[in-house]
Structure 1
Amino acid sequence: MSDDVRERPRVSGTVVAQFVTQLPLLKLYVPIWISCEFVWTLLGSALVLLADIARVTSTRWKRRHAVVGLIAVSGALVAIQLVLTAVEQPWWPSLGGILDWLGNWYLVLIAAWLACGAYMLHRRGKRSATTPPVPVRWVEGPDQLSVVARPAATRAPSELALQSRWNWTAITSVITAFTAIGALLFTSLSLKATEQGQVTDRYTKAIDQIGTTGNDHLETRLGGVYALERLAHDSPRDQPTIIEVLSAFIRSNAPHITSPPLRGGTCSSPAAITLDVQAALTVLGRRDTSQDSGTSIDLHQVCMAGANLTGANLVGADLSDARLTKVGLFRANLSGAELSGTYLDNAYLADAELTNAHLAVADLTRADLFKADLTNAQLDNALLTEAQLSKANLAGADLFNADLTYARFENTNLTGTNFRSAKLAGADFVGADLTNAEHDASTITKDAWKSPETIGAWW
């Protein structure tokens, strides 16, 4: 067999392979092209219908202005919606979103539009057939001019009556508009199904990417993490699932605390977190929380020492018994977060939001909480030795039996704070506001600092 004959199957196979690879694009572009065709058909038929109605009602505008106005407004809204749907933009919902919002009411709106058109045609049909004008001519007689009628119209009376009763142009416009609307709705549903299929394909591919192991697949895992972030943005209803997937990815790939977890547990590996785990933390921290649907981040007993979570949104996250030593949490939002037994020693929490956070038995030794908001935070039995709490807000915080030895509270709001059984030896309360702060006989204030500006000091 010659070389040319041997090469033919390989070339044909390449062409077929290239065609197959373009099938997903065809699934996307063909419905869009069909939608554009229906858009122009609908707009054209609507314009013809409105022009004909305007011509019919020109002599009776006062009686029919409401009907014509309704049709015009409906047509304009449909046209605007179709144009905005065809143009990609983030500030206007898609046609599928509008239909989901309207539910079955969109059928009522379409029926009302068509009913108005039918009403106008009916009013047109009820007009009685008028006798066509009889043309005349002047004939000069013997004594005077006389009028002689021309022959009758050549068209049959039935044809004239039918023409006067029905406006077939308007009827055709209504039928065309109805057909275009039905086709457009069908195309919208097809596009929605196609979009969901693409979301499923993207999700499956991203899961396969983050499931790869080994250092040689680091870039693949990073691509999977960011693909899930983009998917959460494009399909908000899938964000709760993506949060759970990324949380499980972090728990599976980061070191974890060995038992016992409370102030004695160690990480299963002293190695720092990897780039893919840091990427997953970053993605979770900058998500749109309005799409969480009640799903929270679960990173309990995970070792994330040295991680960068600056500005992260971790509202309601479960970080209990986790190790966050030297973690950067500047301006992070941890409101309502579960941080019981969490290691936060030497962590940077300046300007962080910790309102209603649960920090019982947490280790905050030498943590920087400058200007942090800990309103109503639960810090009972917490370790805050040498912690920086200057200008922080601890109003209503619970520090029962907490160790605050040598902690700094300069100009701190401690209104209504519970210091029962707390250890405040050597703490600095210069300029602090201790109004209505709770304490008892077991509260240790030995060598605690205060100044004339300190309000509510009891020692």
Structure 2
Amino acid sequence: MALIAASALGWVIYHYAYDHFAQAAADQEPPKPVNINDPLKASVTALTLIGAVLAGLYAYRKQLLAEGDAHRADASQLADRYTTAAEQLGHNQAAVRLAGVYALARLADDWTEQRQVCIDVLCAYLRMPYEPDPSLPSHKEGEREVRHTIIQVIRDHLQEPDAATAWCLHDFNFTGAVFDGGDFTTSHLRGVVSFSGATFSGGTVSFDSATFSGGDVSFSGATFSGGDVGFDHATFSGSTVHFTDATFSGSDVNFDNAKFSGRDVYFSGATFSGGSVTFTGATFSGRDVHFGGATFSGSIIYFGRTTFSGRDVYFSGATFSGSNVRFRAATFSTGTVSFDHATFSAGILTFPDATFSGSTVRFRNATFSGTRFEWGPLPVPAGA
């Protein structure tokens, strides 16, 4: 069939070429006979070009098929690696689970299309029930080491945003996870980050110098009940930050020198009933800061040298019933500082050396029954 088709095509090309050269010869004065070699050469040249094009198309098609087979083979191999790593993470022995952590991290580096899936599996492991107290029956031997290794692996992939294997642009879901330590220092997080409902129950969890510059950051409903949690020099530059309904009942949490320059910051409904929370040298230069409905019943809350230069600061409806809340040398340079409908029944609220250079401080409908106020050398604002 191919030979017949080629012969027919050659016959057509030959006759077309012959007619072309015959017409050209007849147009000459005087007319000349056709040189048979001319149409033969033209036919051979045309057939050669057509054959070369067909050979190139065949080679290209063959290459595409080979690349498709190689891609499918690679995908199959990566899927097999994923299955193996997932099985290792579910193993009873901690050493095997550790191997699964490293295997899944390497797979995430190699498998760009499914990197988020690999990250989701590691985060899901941290969300699984965990008992950090070794004296309780539900405690698993070696589990703390596995979980801290996952945190370390995640941190290692968040250090260089421009690296080919960086995970900085991906989302991290730690909702409801239990942390009894962990290091996220100098991490760059540009996706959505959720610690909603997480429990910080011991050890040291550090977000020092971390950068949150992409999606929203949520610690809504998180519980800080033990250990130290640090956000020293952390930067929140493009996100809405939620600590809504968080509970600070026994941890020392510091936001010292942190910078909030994105959107709104929410501590609405948060409970401060133990430990200490410090914002020494912190800067709020984005939009509104919300502590509305928060309860301060037994903590030390320190806003020393904190700068509020965004829009409004709300403590509306907050309850101050036993905490020591200090705004020493704080600066309020824009907007309104509202304590409207707040309840002051015990504790200390102080503003020594604070500067109100562009703000209005309001205490409309606030209730005072036992809180001690200190304003330092500043005149007491109207309504206080």
Note whether the superposition's TM-score is higher than 0.5: yes
Aligned residue in 1 for 2:153: 283
Distance 1:276 1:256, change over 3 A: closer
Alignment check: 8 A CA contact 1:126 1:165 kept:
no
Aligned residue in 2 for 1:420: 316
Alignment check: 8 A CA contact 1:339 1:358 kept:
yes
How far apart, CA to CA, are the structure 2 residues paired with 1:290 and 1:386? 31
TM-score w.r.t. the length of structure 1 is 0.56
Aligned residue in 2 for 1:451: 353
Most deviating of 168-177 and 444-453 = 444-453
Describe the superposition over 1:305-356 as per-residue Cα deviations: whole angstroms up to 9, x where unpaired.
Answer: 1222223437332441422543112133564224313216531111224542
Alignment check: 8 A CA contact 1:342 1:359 kept:
no
Q: Percent same amino acid among aligned pairs? A: 17
Give the AA of the match of 2:151.
Answer: L
How far apart, CA to CA, are the structure 2 residues paired with 1:297 and 1:130? 80
Q: Of 179, 188, 193, which residue of structure 2 is paired with 1:316?
A: 193
Within 5 Å, which residues of 2 pair with 1:315-354? 315-323=192-200, 325=202, 326-333=204-211, 335-343=216-224, 346-353=228-235
Alignment check: 8 A CA contact 2:175 2:198 kept:
no
Q: Of 404, 409, 420, which residue of structure 1 is paired with 2:303?
A: 409
How far apart, CA to CA, are the structure 1 residues paired with 2:312 and 2:138? 41
Q: How many residues align?
A: 304
Distance 1:406 1:203, change over 3 A: closer
Q: What are structure 1's unaligned runs of at least 5 residues?
A: 1-120, 134-152, 258-265
Q: Of 285, 288, 292, which residue of structure 2 is paired with 1:396?
A: 288
Aligned residue in 2 for 1:84: none
Distance 1:303 1:163, change over 3 A: same
Report deviation, 1:272. 9.1
How far apart, CA to CA, are the structure 1 residues paired with 2:137 and 2:269? 23
Alignment check: 8 A CA contact 2:219 2:246 kept:
no
Distance 1:344 1:319, change over 3 A: farther
Within 5 Å, which residues of 2 pair with 1:360-399? 360-364=244-248, 365-374=251-260, 376-384=264-272, 386-394=276-284, 395-399=287-291
Q: What are structure 2's unaligned runs of at least 5 residues?
A: 1-12, 26-32, 159-165, 362-380
Q: Of 93, 96, 107, which residue of structure 2 is paired with 1:214?
A: 93
Describe the superposition over 1:266-297 as per-residue Cα deviations: whole angstroms up to 9, x where unpaired.
Answer: 996599962221122233443655764xx641
How far apart, CA to CA, are the structure 1 residues paired with 2:265 and 2:141? 32
TM-score w.r.t. the length of structure 2 is 0.66
Describe the superposition over 1:136-173 as per-residue Cα deviations: whole angstroms up to 9, x where unpaired.
Answer: xxxxxxxxxxxxxxxxx9xx955542223440432332
How far apart, CA to CA, are the structure 1 residues paired with 2:230 and 2:119? 25
Distance 1:343 1:396, change over 3 A: same
Describe the superposition over 1:69-125 as per-residue Cα deviations: whole angstroms up to 9, x where unpaired.
Answer: xxxxxxxxxxxxxxxxxxxxxxxxxxxxxxxxxxxxxxxxxxxxxxxxxxxx99x96
How far apart, CA to CA, are the structure 1 residues paired with 2:174 and 2:266? 20
1:129 lines up with 2:27 in the alignment = no
How far apart, CA to CA, are the structure 2 residues paired with 1:229 and 1:451? 51
Within 5 Å, which residues of 2 pair with 1:100-139? 128-129=20-21
Structure of larger gyration radius:
1
Alignment check: 8 A CA contact 1:297 1:317 kept:
yes
1:438 lines up with 2:338 in the alignment = yes
Give the AA of the match of 1:421.
Answer: G
Aligned residue in 2 for 1:200: 79
How far apart, CA to CA, are the structure 2 residues paired with 1:433 and 1:270? 50
Distance 1:270 1:175, change over 3 A: closer
Alignment check: 8 A CA contact 1:421 1:443 kept:
yes
Within 5 Å, which residues of 2 pair with 1:212-251? 212-215=91-94, 218=95, 220-251=96-127
Alignment check: 8 A CA contact 1:315 1:333 kept:
no
Distance 1:389 1:164, change over 3 A: same
1:367 counterpart SS class: strand
Distance 1:379 1:454, change over 3 A: same
Alignment check: 8 A CA contact 1:307 1:327 kept:
yes
Give the AA of the match of 2:245.
Answer: V
Distance 1:244 1:330, change over 3 A: same
Report deviation, 1:248. 2.7
Alignment check: 8 A CA contact 1:243 1:297 kept:
no
Alignment check: 8 A CA contact 2:242 2:265 kept:
yes
Q: Which structure features the higher share of strand residues?
A: 2
Give the AA of the match of 1:274.
Answer: R
Report deviation, 1:131. 11
Within 5 Å, which residues of 2 pair with 1:89-108? none
Report deviation, 1:203. 0.9
Q: Which structure features the higher share of helix residues?
A: 1
How far apart, CA to CA, are the structure 1 residues paired with 2:18 and 2:339? 92
Alignment check: 8 A CA contact 1:256 1:268 kept:
no
Report deviation, 1:366. 3.0
Alignment check: 8 A CA contact 1:273 1:305 kept:
no
Aligned residue in 2 for 1:191: 70
Describe the superposition over 1:147-205 as per-residue Cα deviations: whole angstroms up to 9, x where unpaired.
Answer: xxxxxx9xx95554222344043233222211111111111111111111111111122
Distance 1:429 1:272, change over 3 A: farther
How far apart, CA to CA, are the structure 1 residues paired with 2:244 and 2:113? 34
RMSD: 3.9
